[in-house]
A = this chain, B = another copy of it.
Amino acid sequence: MELWFTEEHTDNVTFSIKVDRQIYSGQSEFQRIDIFDSLEFGRFLTLDGYMMLTEKDEFIYHEMIVHVPMAVLPEVKKVLVIGGGDGGAVRELVRYPNVEQIDLVEIDRQVIEACKTYLPQTAGKLDDPRVAIHYADGLKFVRSKKDEYDLIIVDSTDPFGPGEGLFTKEFYGNCYKALTENGAMVNQHESPFYPKDAVAMQRAHKRIIDSFPISRVYQAHIPTYPSGHWLFGFASKKYHPIENYDAAAWKALGLKTKYYNDKIHVGAFALPNYVKELLEEME
């Protein structure tokens, strides 16, 4: 027999992975959660049928969403992670000794429980004593916060379903308010390539630049996401992701990484003309 997982990247493009077996399937209040074993990518997690992570390439996403802001912002003590129930962003954050507290706000308890059981590669650090897990809607959680976090990481699903509120102007405005004066927000920023994704990406960019004085977009090669060309947003009150990037200080930490490095930090902000043009249309 053959078992294949297929994701529609658009109505006209599919990406399929040969599955060894399904490890977990659940339906939460919010979404369908599935975990599979595969020869090519190891275990992988999907929500409502959309790829969230594979063991083989999750390091790219998680390193890029964490180390880029951590290498720019000085003295990050308190971090808010919104979404990210798989624990991958937390795993990278707890490597920093100066981080004192991480609030992880995940709407879906069942995602965290499934990942703790079946995806220890990412979820293995959720028990770190600095991590507090809040089962809540990120949109509501940040409303009451003010001048509290040095870094907010928006590790959301796509801008439909449970993740929709995490792409609104209200949400970005509240994130701004929740940040300390040196703070920054990083978010998964969708892909520029397929037209439907690009529209969502442009809309998010527009709302972020309306809320933050400094806003830049950077990219990574994530082979299991649609088109493999994925963007992240860096939105900041004070620190610029290149001008205030301290390569020497980050290197001195001695963190070993598989994707991120000092040249990638700068190179990731070098966007193709067609992506720059999509962003500039919104500016």
Q: How far is the CA of A93 from the CA of B108 in the complex (A)?
A: 53
Judging by beta carbons under 8 Å apart, are B264 and A270 in contact?
yes
In the bound complex, residues from chain B placing their C-beta under 8 Å from that of A57 are: 193
- Kindly identify which residue among B17, B221, B227, B266 contacts A272, using a CB–CB cutoff of 8 Å: B221
Stoichiometry (number of copies): 2
Question: Which of A157-165, A206-214, A255-263 interfaces with chain B?
Answer: A255-263
Among A6-14, A131-139, A179-187, the stretch that binds chain B is A6-14
Is A223 positioned at the interface, with any CB of B under 8 Å from its CB? Answer: yes
Q: Mark A2-28, 1 if CB is under 8 A from B, else 0.
A: 001000001111111110000000000
Cβ-based interface call for A144 (8 A): no
Chain B residues near A272 (CB-CB < 8 A): 60, 221, 258-261, 264
**Chain A interface size, under 10 / 10 to 19 / 20 to 34 / 35 or more:** 35 or more
CA distance A45 to B179 in the complex (A): 50
Could you mark each residue 69-81 of chain A with 1 if its beta carbon is under 8 Å from any beta carbon of chain B, else 0? 0000000000000
Task: Kindly identify, within residues 218 to 237 of chain A, every residue whose CB is under 8 Å from any CB belonging to chain B.
Answer: 219, 221, 223, 227-229
Complex Cα–Cα for A274 and B274 (A): 27
Smallest CB–CB gap between A273 and chain B, Å?
Answer: 5
Q: How far is the CA of A60 from the CA of B193 in the complex (A)?
A: 12
| A-to-B contact residues, CB < 8 Å | 4, 10-18, 38-40, 57, 60, 193-194, 219, 221, 223, 227-229, 257-261, 263-264, 266-274, 276
30 chain-A/chain-B pairs, Cβ below 8 angstroms: A10-B40, A12-B17, A12-B39, A12-B40, A13-B16, A13-B40, A14-B14, A15-B16, A57-B193, A219-B221, A221-B227, A221-B228, A221-B272, A223-B227, A223-B228, A228-B228, A228-B229, A257-B273, A258-B273, A259-B272, A259-B273, A260-B273, A261-B272, A261-B276, A264-B271, A264-B272, A264-B273, A266-B270, A267-B270, A268-B270
Taking A4-B14, A258-B274, A264-B272 as known contacts, 5 extra A-B pairs with beta carbons closer than 8 A to each other, sorted by chain A number, are A12-B40, A221-B228, A259-B274, A261-B273, A263-B270
